Structure 1
Amino acid sequence: MRVVKNIVSTKRTVVCTIHQPSIDIFEAFNEIILMKRGGQIIYSGELGQNSCNLIEYFEGIPGVSKIKENYNPATWMLEVTNPSVEAELGVDFAHLYKESHLYQDKDQDLFNIMGSVYVFTISIGASNLLSILPIVTSQRTIMYRERFAGMYPSKAHSLAQVIIEIPYIFLEATLFLIISYPAVNLYESAYKVSWYFYDIFCTLLNYKYMGMAIASLSSTYQMASICGSFCITMVNLFSGFLIPQPMLPKWWVWFYWIIPTSWTLRGLITSQYGDINREIIAFGKRKTITAFLKSHYGFNHEDLLLTAILLLAYPIFFASIFTYFTAKLNFQRR
């Protein structure tokens, strides 16, 4: 423990697993995460002086026996949270923790949810963009041949490629919703589920059409791949998650407003939490979730309609670019 304390004194965080420690070792830790069988958290927070915070929390649960004088808090904690005690009391400690102020006051849970949604969206969006590049560039040769033979115009080929993606994206968005929504543990509301699906559907469609637009402007697949990777990097950097909009330099904030990913994140988070007035402790200050999102990220629930319009406008914009430049540009080598 002396080594651990020396590391902590350098302002580093140490994470340890402990198994039935003595009182001295147990109370040497600042915070503890207690999980029951199955990995569900039943306590997460500071121990306090002489484990007072931990003891106060569990003794506040009706039916839990009080700790004896000079008794090891670690041993008592394991005894009162034993599955047999939980069954005897008829309670679910994991559910009680989620309903407690310890859980609801944490801004970290909001950051975790935002991070999960952000990573899910960026990863599957980037996959959609990059996967369409070789298909569009390879089919362009067929389009040139059929156009030269007078079978159909370039716009007919482009529109067919645009339209055929819609049912596939719809299915992909549905599967994404079924998997990610309960995994992130978002609100069980038809209104919020509908908004989540709409945001994801428009976003996946946007990434797909963005990739098609990039391919229509590139002479080769290699060039399209380089441009696509660059675009993914830029929309990732300026999406508003890694660097929130209020913290962006003035000479770069314009880029935040024109990229589609920033509106995706704004729509996903605002539709889920923009109308929640529950208070949390964020950066040492108590404020509502609505106020925190507005001050830290610049998200406003009143902008939800504008966000919905722009989320639909971006796919239309990129599909139009793809259709126009496929007809106008000819990269065929003779």
Structure 2
Amino acid sequence: MEGNYNPAMWMLEVTRPGVGNDNGDMTDFITVCKESRHFEELGAGMTSEGVLRPLPSVPALAYDVKCAATKLARAMFLMRRFFLIYWRTASYNLTRFFISVVLGLLFGLTHYSIHTYKDVWYFVASTIVETPYVFVSALLFVTIIFPMVEFTGFVTFLTYWLYLSWHSLWHAYVGYIMSYVMPTVDVATIFGVLIISIFLLFSGFNPPCDSIPQGYKSIYDIDPMKYSLAILTAIGFGDCSTDRSGAGCNTLSGDPPTCFAIKHSELHKNVAFMVIFIILYRILVLLALRFINHMKR
């Protein structure tokens, strides 16, 4: 046999006739193997005790159960075997994963679309759609009135516009509540005008805060317009810039803090109350959408 030649290939070539077999002699390798010293050593080793014949000192193996391993051990080995070799094909697994995702989205979106007018999403849509219109209309109003009443300052302009927009949003949300709670548009209009009139009456402007009877002070304290009026008045007439050129630098007779109970130091508190009222009225809108249905008979 040549060097670095495959022994298995060499055995096939010399023992089997076929294409490429150029071995001229007909050597009987079986006879050569049986007559060799290695065959005798192999036979002696196989017939020794402990190989093909049991050892006299070792008792025969006997099992009390059908299987030597427990059921749990066999199950664990089979699980390990399946997880190691049961892979199918990568394309098969990727295909069924992709189909599962597509079917999940298809059926999910089909049933999800049934809730197009679900109260939560109707509430979210009605909340968002009103915002740009209110902010743009408030911007137009402030842009015209701000220089005409001689208010100054870009920051003052922005804050005045922002809080006026929030006040207008609250008015819009009051209209939402009336339209959802009342059975008809006419009834909603009547009650909306009534509620806004009551809020305007007890806002602390006319009559002023110190003229409201003590028995009606509780209505004044929970009036959202009170806080809107206090914010806009404090921004316009209570904020004095460093160059003392704004309307807030003019000294009044003390009417805003005493007669109307409006103080610039309470601006942040009033803003917090305005935000709370806006959130509260949106929650009332959501509850009205959820529990009130005028179509029931």
Whether the TM-score (by the shorter chain) exceeds 0.5 is yes
What is the TM-score normalised by the length of structure 1?
0.50
Report 1:126-145 matches (<5 A): none
Partner residue, 2:141: 176
Q: Structure 1 residues 164 and 150 mapped into 2: Cα distance closer, same or farther (>3 Å)?
A: closer
How many Å apart are 1:211 and its aligned residue?
Answer: 0.8
What is the TM-score normalised by the length of structure 2?
0.55
How many Å apart are 1:276 and its aligned residue?
Answer: 5.0
2-structure distance, mates of 1:264, 1:316 = 15
Matched, 1:227 2:191: yes
- Given that residues 215 and 224 in structure 1 are in contact (C-alpha distance below 8 angstroms), is that contact kept between their aligned partners in structure 2? yes
2:163 equivalent among 192, 196, 199: 199
2-structure distance, mates of 1:312, 1:176 = 21
- Given that residues 266 and 307 in structure 1 are in contact (C-alpha distance below 8 angstroms), is that contact kept between their aligned partners in structure 2? yes
How many Å apart are 1:152 and its aligned residue?
Answer: 4.0
2-structure distance, mates of 1:258, 1:183 = 32
Instruction: Give a deviation string over 1:280-322, Cα, whole Å, max 9, x none.
Output: xxxxxxx943833212211111100011112222222111111
Matched, 1:241 2:205: yes
- Given that residues 274 and 290 in structure 1 are in contact (C-alpha distance below 8 angstroms), is that contact kept between their aligned partners in structure 2? no
1:331 partner SS: coil
Partner residue, 1:114: none
Partner residue, 1:251: 215
2:214 partner SS: coil
2-structure distance, mates of 1:276, 1:292 = 17
1-structure distance, mates of 2:117, 2:295 = 17
Partner residue, 1:165: 130
2-structure distance, mates of 1:290, 1:307 = 23
Structure exhibiting the larger radius of gyration computed from Cα positions = 2
Unpaired runs of 5+ in structure 2?
1-111, 245-249
2-structure distance, mates of 1:317, 1:221 = 23
2-structure distance, mates of 1:262, 1:253 = 12
1:185 partner SS: coil
Partner residue, 2:238: 274
Matched, 1:265 2:229: yes
- Given that residues 293 and 299 in structure 1 are in contact (C-alpha distance below 8 angstroms), is that contact kept between their aligned partners in structure 2? yes
2-structure distance, mates of 1:155, 1:275 = 41
Q: Structure 1 residues 169 and 275 mapped into 2: Cα distance closer, same or farther (>3 Å)?
A: closer
Partner residue, 2:77: none
Provide the aligned length of Structure 1 versus Structure 2.
Answer: 179
Q: How much identity, in percent, do the aligned residues show?
A: 24
1:252 partner SS: helix
Q: Structure 1 residues 292 and 156 mapped into 2: Cα distance closer, same or farther (>3 Å)?
A: same
Partner residue, 1:281: none
1-structure distance, mates of 2:253, 2:175 = 35
Amino acid at match of 1:192: T
1-structure distance, mates of 2:237, 2:182 = 40
Matched, 1:208 2:172: yes
Q: Structure 1 residues 298 and 160 mapped into 2: Cα distance closer, same or farther (>3 Å)?
A: same
Amino acid at match of 1:161: S
How many Å apart are 1:333 and its aligned residue?
Answer: 4.4
2:287 equivalent among 294, 317, 324: 324
- Given that residues 159 and 323 in structure 1 are in contact (C-alpha distance below 8 angstroms), is that contact kept between their aligned partners in structure 2? no
1-structure distance, mates of 2:165, 2:252 = 26
2-structure distance, mates of 1:177, 1:292 = 24
1:251 partner SS: helix
Matched, 1:309 2:272: yes
How many Å apart are 1:199 and its aligned residue?
Answer: 1.8
2-structure distance, mates of 1:310, 1:160 = 24
1-structure distance, mates of 2:157, 2:252 = 19
